[in-house]
Chain A
Amino acid sequence: MIAPKPPLPARALDDRVFAGVAAATLLAFAAVALWPGLSGYRVNIIGQLACFALLAVALDLIWGYAGILSLGHGLFFAIGGYVAGMHLLEHSVATTGVTPDIVQFMGWTALPAWWAPLGSFPVALLAAIAVSFGAAFAFGWVSFRSRVGGVYFAIITQALVYVAMLLMFRNDTGFGGNNGMTGFQMIFGVPFQSPSVATGLALASLGVLGVTLVGCRLLMVGRFGRLLVATRDDEIRLRSLGYDTLRLKLAVWCLSAVIAAIAGLLYVPQVGIINPRVLSPELSLEIAVWCAIGGRGRLAGAVIGAVLVNAIKFSLSATLPELWPFVLSGLVILVALIFPNGLLDIGRWRPALLSRPGALRPQDAAS
């Protein structure tokens, strides 16, 4: 399916960076699996970072490649997260028999009967995929068909995630309201206190990240990826060459939503809680910031941005949490001024750029 082609000079650097990021993912996987000196806390952080990287890759597919900015990807992340929460509660009740807190504060006598099938992990995984796909398909079909795009689409997605947050804050909605779901006891029959749980979850997250990275990369250098870039560059031109851009956009939008949901599914067991705060507009905006800082449309940039920003966030939240907003804003401004296409452009950086504020693309400046 993928025609072998000589890499373009401008892309050679990106190829190397991608190989580096893939190697780093593999290295992290090996370290978590084999290095006994890594503390459980560190392993947990690595696992969470992998989930954020996965979420950023999901956004990069539609924003970086297809040029469709979503400011509501937290919605799909939350779908995966809530399904994970329901699965873990069902599984915990089934294996320990202990009634979770959610039953008391929701005023129930037991978990809702319709949650029962989610106690099986394959069913939960399928549910997360199906619900995120269904939601993305319905919303995408309506929006793309009526040719909503650009900033309007971004605003609508932001509103969508906000509405979902308000809905989930209500107890009546039936998913734990403000408190969300927590107090998970067991995962795959293993108690959460066991150190092997953190290791297993981090390995799963890194594994899924690695496979997704390579899979998406193959997809993006192939025909599908080139057509997405063409959609981004000039959608009317592509349509007038006989292509149905609605289908292209729907396909990548749904793929992106499912990847985001899987990221949420992996994330929730590692933090032990899911509540409506993952639906806050701030998280959805931050995903876009990770991609912008790392560099859009190159997958590796999304991973670098997500890991870098969240690593700084983790280290600051332990020492100086009040500094975080200033550091994040500073980083955004710095990158926007010096590397408008993200940190991946460091390799192409020419000092002359600084004296040319109008220069948007370093390769233009160099040629």
Chain B
Amino acid sequence: MTVAVLVEGLTVEFGRFRAIDDLSLAIDYGEVRAVIGPNGAGKTTLLDVISGVSRARAGRVLFDERLELTGRSESAIARSGVRRKFQKPSVFEALSVRDNVEIGLGGAGDPASHEKVAAILETVGLSEHADRLASELAHGQKQWLEIAMVVVSEPRVLMLDEPVAGLTDEETERTAALIRRLRTPDRAIVVVEHDMDFVEAIADRVTVLHEGRTLFEGSMARARADARVVDVYLGR
């Protein structure tokens, strides 16, 4: 089976601070991988490097076992099929919900792309808000809109940075159901999240990061039982 994202010996430094320290990990197609860990563990930095926002000091990121992502621009990485939702809901406030998703698709406005946009709006439950401005949406709806913008292009690697931050319990459940629906055999989903119940509901495996290194990798149930994980993260 092909590995969707292969991270090898990755090191990222900001000045003298080492955010990621010789990190290696492999994410398979078909799985939902949660990346968890205390603040400053390097979770968001990992997504930044994979998506091209930050540059690595050493190491490399390989997509689909054929495409080296390190050194490519954000737009080139996105076009190759690796897309990411940001931590803070990032939508185009002055545009309509539909325009936002259309931009995510990058289509030419043909009937087929209109259908795709309509279908994804249905999936995230925003069909009735399609003509409203994105700025008028509630926080949770903005999170879903951004997921729709990212998913509509059918990425092979989908990265979600704290998709349920600031959501109500009911909204969190809806998001979990949404992510389970987005899971397909030819797509890898990477989720960074602090809500452990949510992680348990969606993740096939978890990677626990601590000080830029992998502390643990396995199922959420075993992570909860692992003494080191409890010590640095879960126990607090």
Contacts and interface: CB of A to CB of B under 8 A. Distances in A.
Which range contains the number of A residues in contact with the other chain? 20 to 34
A236 B53 contact: yes
Contacts of A8: 96, 131-133
Contacts of B133: 8, 10, 363
A240 B74 contact: yes
B14 to A, nearest CB: 17
A1 to B, nearest CB: 8
Given A8-B131, A223-B109, A238-B103, A233 B92 contact: yes
Interface in B128-179: 131-133, 135-136, 146, 149-150, 153
Given A8-B133, A243-B75, A229 B95 contact: yes
Given A242-B78, A244-B75, A367 B92 contact: no
A229 B92 contact: yes
Closest 6 CB pairs of A and B: A242-B78, A237-B90, A242-B79, A239-B74, A233-B92, A230-B92
Contacts of A242: 75, 78-79, 83, 106, 153
B43 interface: no
Contacts of A10: 133
Given A223-B109, A227-B103, A240 B92 contact: no
17 contacts: A3-B109, A10-B133, A223-B109, A226-B99, A232-B94, A234-B92, A236-B53, A236-B86, A237-B146, A238-B92, A240-B83, A241-B78, A241-B83, A242-B75, A242-B106, A243-B103, A363-B133
A241 B94 contact: no
A6 interface: yes
B99 to A, nearest CB: 5
A20 to B, nearest CB: 22
A98 B136 CA distance: 66
Given A230-B95, A364-B135, A236 B109 contact: no
A367 B104 contact: no
Contacts of B33: none
Contacts of A245: 75
B65 interface: no
A240 B77 CA distance: 8
A3 to B, nearest CB: 4
B137 to A, nearest CB: 11
B135 A241 contact: no
A227 B109 CA distance: 14
A44 B94 CA distance: 39
B93 interface: yes
B103 A240 contact: no
A356 to B, nearest CB: 17
Contact of A241 (B52, B93, B106, B131): B106
Nearest to A237: B90
A227 B83 CA distance: 18
A237 B53 contact: no
B101 to A, nearest CB: 10
B48 to A, nearest CB: 10
Contacts of B91: 233-234, 237
Contact of B75 (A234, A239, A367): A239
Interface of A: 3, 6, 8, 10, 223, 226-227, 229-230, 232-234, 236-245, 297, 361, 363-364, 367
Contacts of A238: 92, 103
B12 to A, nearest CB: 17
Contacts of B83: 240-242
Contacts of A241: 75, 78, 83, 103-104, 106, 149-150, 153
Interface in B113-135: 131-133, 135
Given A229-B92, A363-B136, 20 more contacts: A3-B109, A6-B131, A8-B132, A10-B133, A226-B103, A229-B95, A233-B95, A234-B92, A237-B146, A238-B92, A240-B52, A240-B78, A240-B83, A240-B84, A241-B103, A241-B106, A241-B153, A243-B106, A363-B133, A364-B136
Contacts of A6: 131
A241 B78 CA distance: 6
Nearest to B134: A233
Interface in B42-78: 51-53, 73-75, 77-78
B163 to A, nearest CB: 15
Interface in B172-207: none
B56 to A, nearest CB: 17
Contacts of B99: 226
Contact of A237 (B52, B73, B92, B96): B92
A240 B78 CA distance: 6
A298 B122 CA distance: 31
B144 to A, nearest CB: 15
Contacts of B74: 236, 239-240
Contacts of B94: 229, 232-233, 297
Most buried by B among A227, A232, A239, A361: A239
Contacts of A227: 103
Contacts of B86: 236-237, 240
A6 B83 CA distance: 30
A10 B79 CA distance: 33
Nearest to A9: B131
A295 to B, nearest CB: 13
A301 to B, nearest CB: 14
B131 to A, nearest CB: 6
A240 B93 contact: no
